[in-house]
A and B are shown apart, each in its own frame.
Chain A
Amino acid sequence: MAKLSGQSIVCDASSLISLTDSCFVHVVYFLKKKYRGKFIIPPSVERECVEQPLHMKNYALHAIRLKRAIAEGMIDVVDAKPEQTAARGGAHSPEANREAEEIKFAANNMFYANGTPIRLLHAGEADVLSLALEIGVDNLLMDERTCRMLCEDPESLRQHLEHELGKPVTVNEGHMAQFSRATKSLRFFRSSELILLAYEKGYFADYGELERDAVEASLYKLKYAGCAIGFGEIGDYVRKHVRE
């Protein structure tokens, strides 16, 4: 596979869901024109966000929008599986599946309560992480909170679990170190940051004097669509950087 631009970003299902639910799939179109990078998803995310919801009345339109974005080359579906890599004439990558399994194992055996490991991460989420690592893309678009926190701040997640479950949650330091080593190069962004980037590049310019209102409203819309961002965070940022 040709080396990907450092401006490429691997997207998980949660971010695409938030973007399509908020009618912001065209932000991807807008940013694609401005930058060299690709928006990449693994086949599992395509199945989840396009193939499955096509048959669900309330989500079919979202699926169609994404399907069109893929067909028009705005979003690339990349499979890091060995047979596909070989078919492309590239080097074999038998590590792809193993890496996802190792990441998932480390994540799901990191925290313990009552002597039992707490299964935090799903195979799909591990797939996205391992795809990013496999194709050398450090940027991830992920609205889902747990996976991000596992990578960025596992101790806070442990404390949160302890508080929520009302039980001591202990750490397997070995698995935590293994997971951190594997994922330390990754940088995470949410659909909220994508919208703000688009805003800074003129996405909302057409709104004229309503531009700032549109940006603020968009952030709240994304929050209500499931992007893991709080009211406080939005309020603080808008006050300092949008409304000033």
Chain B
Amino acid sequence: MALSLAETAVLIGSALRNHDVRAMRKINGRCIDETALKFQQPTYNYALITYVLAKMLSKPRYFAHGKAKEKLSGIDKLLRACESFAKEADYASLLSTQGKILSSMEKMDEEDRRFVKGIMQKARLKIASTLYAQGISLGNASDITGADKREVLLYAGQTMMFDRLRERKGIEERMKELREIFS
């Protein structure tokens, strides 16, 4: 059953306070599934937020030091605001608050960047790749998440998704047709 936007905010806040990476990933999975069924910006934003928070909660450099702890506490407060706005059906404020959470996380990553690709980019890529693996087209997955198509293709190539769903028409049949065309 789909979670409401308010329920999702509550669960994310709870997972954050309890440092529960597993719960955070579970919420992320649900948000991605909901996005595949029907794209809604607030749900997609939660998918981004939960992906990034799951990463942050599993890396001490994001939560062990004073400033980082403060920022995560700030994010918790913003999540409570998300819950209120969602209950009031004030979606403009909800989106704006989610935007603040995403900006805050992006700043945290920028302050101690280890890779060329930032954590938000990685989040978009991971969500797009999951959507593609689930059956959404590459173009749609890339478009709705903002992830680069090339990156999604490259990422997909590293996975087992093409073995998990084997197409009815394989190389042999396609080669037979191709030889006939190019004979």
Give Cα A169–Cα B49 distance, bound, in whole angstroms: 28
A171 within 8 A of B: no
Minimum C-beta distance from A176 to chain B (A): 15
Question: What chain B residues lie within 8 Å of A119 (beta carbons)?
Answer: 38-39, 136, 140
**B116 to chain A: closest residue by CB:** A58
> In this complex, which of B38, B148, B167 has the most chain A Cβ atoms within 10 angstroms of its Cβ?
B167
Q: Show 14 residue pairs from A and B whose CB-CB distance is below 8 angstroms, ordered by the A residue.
A: A114-B38, A124-B139, A125-B139, A139-B181, A144-B138, A145-B162, A152-B168, A153-B168, A156-B167, A160-B134, A161-B135, A164-B36, A187-B177, A231-B160
Question: What chain B residues lie within 8 Å of A232 (beta carbons)?
Answer: 163, 166
What are the 6 closest A-B residue pairs judged by CB atoms, nearest first? Answer: A122-B139, A226-B153, A230-B163, A146-B137, A164-B134, A226-B157
Q: How many residues of A contact B (CB 8 A)?
A: 71
- Chain A residues with CB under 8 Å of chain B are 6-7, 13-14, 17-18, 21, 31, 34-35, 37, 48, 53, 56, 59, 62, 113-114, 116, 118-125, 139, 143-149, 152-153, 156-157, 160-161, 164-167, 187-190, 192-194, 196-197, 200, 223-234, 236-237, 240-241
**A34 to chain B: closest residue by CB:** B182
Question: What chain A residues lie within 8 Å of B172 (beta carbons)?
Answer: 237, 240-241
Does B139 lie within 8 Å of A144, measured CB to CB? yes
B114 within 8 A of A: no
Does A224 lie within 8 Å of B178, measured CB to CB? no
**Which of B36, B142, B154, B179 has a CB less than 8 Å from the CB of A197?**
B179
Question: What chain B residues lie within 8 Å of A194 (beta carbons)?
Answer: 178
Question: What chain B residues lie within 8 Å of A166 (beta carbons)?
Answer: 33
Does B134 lie within 8 Å of A59, measured CB to CB? no
Does A188 lie within 8 Å of B171, measured CB to CB? no
Does A148 lie within 8 Å of B167, measured CB to CB? yes
Minimum C-beta distance from A13 to chain B (A): 6
Does A146 lie within 8 Å of B171, measured CB to CB? no
Question: What chain B residues lie within 8 Å of A62 (beta carbons)?
Answer: 150
Does B163 lie within 8 Å of A35, measured CB to CB? no
Does B139 lie within 8 Å of A223, measured CB to CB? no
Question: What chain A residues lie within 8 Å of B168 (beta carbons)?
Answer: 152-153, 156
